[in-house]
Every structure is written in C-alpha cells, then in structure tokens.
A and B are shown apart, each in its own frame.
Chain A
C-alpha cells in the first residue's frame, strides 16, 4: 500500500526567501507525481506533474524534482511571495491505477 509523507507539516519564511518542500513515497512503482496547491476553503490547483521517467519539471518560480528509486520528490520555490502562502500537497499515481495517493501537505506561510 502506497504511503506518502510530507515534511515539514508547516513552514514559515520571510518574503524573498528560497525554500524546499519535501515529499517521500513508499512504493516506487508510480506513473507520475503531482504537486498541488490548496488555498483555505478552496479546491486543489495542479502546479506541476512529473512523469515517472522524468527527473524534474519547472514552471515559473517552481521547480519539482523526482528521484523514483529513492522514493523522493522536492518542490523548490524561488523568491517566495506572500501570495505563495497556501497548503502544498504531493500526490502519486500508482502504476496501473487512476487513483492518486496524497500526503498530508505542508502549510506554507510567507511573511511580508
């Protein structure tokens, strides 16, 4: 059974700082890994999707990496802004499955 862990559970940083969010998963047989953002009282917004054959994906100030063999992914956010404050969720899609298994998220606060 796939388990996804995110560390830290919460993170508070001053504006402008670069930061890294961590995600680990127990079963390396995955199709892809996704990072989502959830704002309070809102749904999830997909940020980046990395296929199992890829090592990283970039979108603007965000960079996600994947090391499938070690069961790890990181989300790097450059030059953080107050608008980045949200909960960031990591999710993996298992091989042969449509379903995503989520971590519990990292709640990020960027202080102006």
Chain B
C-alpha cells in the first residue's frame, strides 16, 4: 500500500492557468507538508500543516495555497502560474513528535510553458 500518494505525477500547463496537486496519506499522520525541488535539485519547505496550525514559508508567493479537506489530505492550489513555478513538488507527512521521520510522496513534476 502506498503511504503518501500524489496526483498527477506530471502536469504541463500554460502560464496564467490555475492548477491543483492532490496529496493523500494513509499513515494516520497529523502533520503534512509541501516541498518544492527546483531545477538545481534544492529542496525547500513551502508549508507545514496540522489540524491546529498552518505554517507558511515567508518566501512562498500567495498564489500558492494549501487546502486540507480532512486529516489525510493536503492539496496544493496554484493560481496564475508562472514560468518560475516549474519544479517538482513533494508532499510529505509525519507525526508531530520530534522522534518521527517524514514520509515523502513520489513527487509531481510541474512544467509551465
């Protein structure tokens, strides 16, 4: 069984469009995350979210918004896509305790034309 899944795996779209990436985890975790891996393979946190709080990296444009319909899902909505948004986006989840590792999804490769 897949622990953390993301859809779609690939997403190609035009500048200015609005798109969403879905993430689901079946681990019963309380906390979920979105990361962006750029063309230089540098992985940066975008958001962390549990049922108590959303923490946003201050460098993330407000065109990006996480939406959590329930504890097992954290979707990423992106408005007015720009060329610089092209990257691989990873979802992850964990228990909030400091002892727990984060489990990553397979990634969504977004290409903005």
Contact = CB atoms under 8 A, between A and B. Distances in A.
Interface in A82-108: 87, 89, 91, 93, 97-102, 104-105
A89 B43 contact: yes
B98 A32 contact: yes
Interface residues of A, number: 25
Given A44-B90, A98-B48, A99-B55, A51 B104 contact: no
Contacts of A46: 101-103
A43 B92 CA distance: 10
Contacts of B25: none
A97 B50 CA distance: 12
Contact of B45 (A32, A44, A101, A104): A101
A43 B98 contact: no
Determine the main DSSP class of A at the interface with B.
strand
Contact of B101 (A43, A49, A102, A104): A49
A97 B96 CA distance: 9
Interface residues of B, number: 27
Q: Which of B4, B31, B45, B55 has the most chain A CB atoms inside 10 A of its CB?
A: B45
Contact of B106 (A36, A43, A51): A43
Interface in B73-104: 90, 92, 94, 96, 98-104
Nearest to A44: B104
23 contacts: A31-B98, A32-B98, A42-B106, A43-B4, A43-B104, A44-B90, A45-B104, A46-B101, A49-B101, A52-B98, A98-B31, A98-B33, A98-B48, A98-B50, A98-B55, A99-B45, A99-B48, A100-B33, A100-B45, A102-B42, A102-B44, A104-B41, A104-B42
Interface of B: 4, 31, 33, 40-45, 48, 50, 55, 57, 90, 92, 94, 96, 98-107
